[in-house]
Structure 1
Amino acid sequence: MDVENSGAVSTPRRDTMKQSVVSRWDRFRRKGKKNVGVFVSVKNIMTCSWLNILLLLTPLAWWAHFSGRLHYSIVFSLCFISIIPHEKLFDFYGEQMHLYLGKDVGDLLTITLNNVVEATLAIILLTKCRLKLLQSTITGVVVLHLLLIPGAAFFTGGAQIWEQDLHPAHTQLNHSLLTVGVLALLLPAVLYAGATSDSASSSTPSSEVLQTDFLQMSRGLAVILLLIYIASRIYYHNPPGKGHNMLSHPDAPEELRNTEDKLASTEPEVNQWVCLVFLAANVGVMAATAEWLLDSIDPVVEATIMTQEWSGIVLLPIVSFSADGAIAVGYFIHRTLSRLMKFRTPDPPTTLAKAEAIDLSIQFLLFWTPVVTLLGWWTGKPFNLLFDWFEVALLIGACFLVNYVTQDAKTNWIEGFALLCFYTMIVLCTWFYSGQPAIASLLLCPGETVEE
């Protein structure tokens, strides 16, 4: 009897899941609807942003790299500017695929695409065995996504409204995921401090033993972090109860609940297959340009008083934010001039706060950082999760502040201003930080020495 009842209950569940998969596939194919033509799709991609004019600099940046005739600062600048339109194109591709995939899968794809530049930089640094710079870049990317981008969004979005809303359930889960990701990086640092607290003791492990131990520990932590991230995506996309996603939560903001309906009624501008082809091409071109950028950054750092830590924590993460930053600056100037000159009536303020960047930091902590760690294991690179104490402190501070700001699922402009100010403090203090050589020595590949 119990078996029969169990089967009776599970059958509708399987039917619902099967119907959901079929409907998603039909939605992706736009079954019963007219699809966008190839020529129109290419035209819309090329004209989606005024930043696309900078795509003309990409071949020039490549030529500058291979010719060796131009100064390294010019090569660096060309590569830096060339990445801006590619990063903006990722945003456009994500918006278009949202219309084909729906909010659930579309959100995951958009988060991943927005992390493509950072993930590419991380993988290139790993292959070049720039492991200390890689750790600094991971720290900088997470801090930037926790402080600078949400701070700018909360500051500008809350300028005309008392407070903006966040999804309570989503925010609470993000707090837990973000905290466990940061604490996972705290554990190796605490263990290292305990193991080396008495440097004069004969029982202090050698550098070779420490490197082996922290490599094994980091790989285990990486697997656990990946499991946490996978479980969180399952919860996001298929939460328990009657709802099919997080939008079904009773406390979800009304404006957010209307997102799926808006996506279903909006016509795409690009054919889904053309979008995927251009997306793959964009990843390849951007990855090569990012590699030339990294090749030219060493002479820039050596010719200035900039430290390797500052370039990793501040400069390289800014590359990934350059496109959004350019758009934000242009939008801010346009809105300010419009209000001062009264060119047009300002748009009504939205009640929904933009906090997608926090999801980017969580994915980078719980997914990309473990992936890079395991990729280093596969390729024989001694990358571990033992970060400098200063970098761990930055992550803990950023995690604490953003969790405190969003704990009530509401934000305002002064909280956004506080996030921006704390990021400015980090930029200032990092300028004077030169790293911990003892920890850097555990990240050396064969034949390398610690940079002074």
Structure 2
Amino acid sequence: MPSTEAKSDVHTQWWRWRNIIALLRDVCLSHKRDKPLGKSPSVRASIIAIFKTSWLNVLLIFIPLSWIFHYVKLSNTLVFVFSFLAIVPLAKLLAFATDDMSLRFGQTLAGLLNATLGNAVELIVAIIALVKCELTVVQSSLIGSILSNLLLVLGMCFFVGGTRFSEQGFGISAVQLNSSLLTLSVIAVLLPAAFHNAVEPTNGVDPLTNQQEGRDILSISHGVAVILLFIYLCYLVFQLFSHKNIYDDQHSDVQQSVRYPPKIVKRLHINELPPASSSPPPVDGVMNPAQPDASLEAGLEEGVERPQMCLQTTIVLLAVVTVLVAITAEFLVDSIDGLTSSGHISKGFVGLILLPIVGNAAEHVTAVTVSYKNKITLSLGVAVGSSIQIALFVIPFIVTLGWILGKPLTLLFDPFESIVLFLSVLTVNYVVQDGKSNWLEGMILMCLYAIIAVTFWYYPVSDPAGLLATCQ
């Protein structure tokens, strides 16, 4: 018979877990949803919805092909290409499951959930590359993920939304806070590079030996990584608890979206639905915030949002896709050396441009789709929120994990990559500071990303302090 003390301990643990679950439930319920949630479909209907979700599912055939080519040790180029194509539909399925699950929460928590699970691909690829000592690929892919989200994804969101609205408005307070967090992350990346340049020999005098400088940069990176993780925790508390109201679409500083005048709509052939008969017409082209956009009600019955999968199927899909992504990403990383050995393509371009495009496929699809529906707050939460998560969570987490595993991964990035990141964040800050977006601003961001891609096609990524090459 168990003792009275054992029973008391079990009872205490049960109440502790019960309180944790209740707290998580309260967090979810505290973020109000835009519309009531309809009845969940059956498991059979959920599985059918998975197969019908996108034509990209035809690319799933590349999963077994990439695995076969890897195990029979055929061309590394084909393994990379097939693994690359296989991860695209997996990222889309991950976005589908995440978006369906986010229907159960409000836009703030939905944006956080989309950004978190959307970064699963980047996190998995980074961990695998870290274990295999591909530290240059780790650093380039993480910087590339931030650039892809800030320039390509956000730019396409502004451009697609700008085809339906002359201007789309969002909350200035939340955007300024996000800009401050991104600036902080850039400073954390630039300081180790500044430290390295400051201790360079001058007049033949070297203030630090190479070994001492390497140890100092590692220590700086580990300390800064811990601080960044703490800041990210504070950001979560701020966003989900203390100041969650500033991320609400109904906050007072949220700019209202402005439609094109009717003549412009006709010339551009923009497909607009007429406003509902019970809704008053927009005044001076400004949408009435009290009335929903008629196009958002398409496919809904009496304003009820209906999930396409039941919760159990959604969770299973997330787990299965994550496992498939992990295995396929390992084969992808293994093939990088063989792909770049010919000299036609560099590791820097693979890490900075190609891998982020695959990893950000989930955020890309989700953010662009909701931007077209004028849910620009959710779109920013996915695109910019994903960049913040990579900068304040993924990068310091990977550095800390490398610390634990004995891998010399630091925050000393390639100087050119650091400068490009700084200029990109500066550009985005200028674009979003007025709380409004249009299609030209989106085109500016996308063209800047294209310029960066062209530049890094020719740029050989370096290892400034020679630390990455010591990984074993």
TM-score range relative to shorter protein: 0.7 to 0.9
| 1:19 shift after superposition | 11
**CA, structure 1 residues 435+57, in 2 after alignment: closer, same or farther (shift >3 Å)?**
closer
| 1:166 shift after superposition | 2.1
| 1:446 shift after superposition | 4.9
| 1:240 shift after superposition | 4.5
Q: Which letter does structure 2 place at the counterpart of 1:141?
A: S
Q: Which letter does structure 1 place at the counterpart of 2:359?
A: S
1:389 — aligned with what? 415
1:48 to 50, 53, 56: 53
Distance in 1 (alpha carbons) for counterparts of 2:195 and 2:155? 33
Distance in 2 (alpha carbons) for counterparts of 1:370 and 1:207? 24
2:438 — aligned with what? 412
Distance in 2 (alpha carbons) for counterparts of 1:77 and 1:164? 38
Greater CA drift, 32-41 or 83-92: 32-41
* 1:219 and 2:258 correspond: no
**CA, structure 1 residues 257+174, in 2 after alignment: closer, same or farther (shift >3 Å)?**
farther
In the TM superposition, what are the counterparts of 1:44-83 in structure 2 within 5 Å?
44-68=49-73, 70-83=74-87
CA contact (8 A) 1:85 1:323 kept: no
Secondary structure, counterpart of 1:444 in structure 2:
helix
* 1:156 and 2:160 correspond: yes
Which TM-score applies when normalising by structure 2? 0.78
1:403 — aligned with what? 429
CA contact (8 A) 1:147 1:423 kept: yes
In the TM superposition, what are the counterparts of 1:113-152 in structure 2 within 5 Å?
113-152=117-156
**CA, structure 1 residues 305+257, in 2 after alignment: closer, same or farther (shift >3 Å)?**
farther
1:233 — aligned with what? 236
Which string of whole-angstrom CA distances, capped at 9 and with x for unpartnered residues, describes residues 235-286 of structure 1? 1112349x49634522235689999x99993121211122111101110111
CA contact (8 A) 2:221 2:410 kept: yes
2:448 to 416, 422, 425: 422
**CA, structure 1 residues 197+152, in 2 after alignment: closer, same or farther (shift >3 Å)?**
farther
Distance in 1 (alpha carbons) for counterparts of 2:290 and 2:384? 20
Structure 1 or 2: larger helix share?
1
Structure 1 residue runs of 5 or longer lacking an equivalent are 1-13, 332-346, 448-452
* 1:276 and 2:278 correspond: no
**CA, structure 1 residues 378+87, in 2 after alignment: closer, same or farther (shift >3 Å)?**
same
1:289 to 328, 342, 354: 328
1:210 — aligned with what? 213
| 1:161 shift after superposition | 3.2
**CA, structure 1 residues 21+314, in 2 after alignment: closer, same or farther (shift >3 Å)?**
same
CA contact (8 A) 1:237 1:246 kept: no
| 1:326 shift after superposition | 8.7
Structure 2 residue runs of 5 or longer lacking an equivalent are 1-18, 258-288
| 1:364 shift after superposition | 0.3
**CA, structure 1 residues 192+392, in 2 after alignment: closer, same or farther (shift >3 Å)?**
same
Secondary structure, counterpart of 1:303 in structure 2:
coil
CA contact (8 A) 2:37 2:306 kept: no
**CA, structure 1 residues 147+24, in 2 after alignment: closer, same or farther (shift >3 Å)?**
same
Secondary structure, counterpart of 1:162 in structure 2:
strand
Q: Which letter does structure 2 place at the counterpart of 1:401?
A: T
* 1:309 and 2:334 correspond: no
**CA, structure 1 residues 379+47, in 2 after alignment: closer, same or farther (shift >3 Å)?**
same
CA contact (8 A) 2:228 2:392 kept: yes
Secondary structure, counterpart of 1:238 in structure 2:
helix
1:336 — aligned with what? none
Which string of whole-angstrom CA distances, capped at 9 and with x for unpartnered residues, describes residues 389-419 of structure 1? 1011011000000010001011112111111
2:469 — aligned with what? 444
Secondary structure, counterpart of 1:431 in structure 2:
helix
Q: Which letter does structure 2 place at the counterpart of 1:131?
A: L
**CA, structure 1 residues 35+317, in 2 after alignment: closer, same or farther (shift >3 Å)?**
closer
2:14 — aligned with what? none
How many equivalent residue pairs? 408
| 1:58 shift after superposition | 1.0
Q: Which letter does structure 1 place at the counterpart of 2:305?
A: T
Q: Which letter does structure 1 place at the counterpart of 2:334?
A: D
Which TM-score applies when normalising by structure 1? 0.81
| 1:109 shift after superposition | 1.5
Distance in 2 (alpha carbons) for counterparts of 1:351 and 1:124? 35
1:5 — aligned with what? none
**CA, structure 1 residues 91+253, in 2 after alignment: closer, same or farther (shift >3 Å)?**
farther
| 1:422 shift after superposition | 1.4
Distance in 2 (alpha carbons) for counterparts of 1:348 and 1:180? 30
2:190 to 186, 195, 217: 186
**CA, structure 1 residues 34+167, in 2 after alignment: closer, same or farther (shift >3 Å)?**
same
1:252 to 251, 254, 263: 254
**CA, structure 1 residues 176+32, in 2 after alignment: closer, same or farther (shift >3 Å)?**
closer
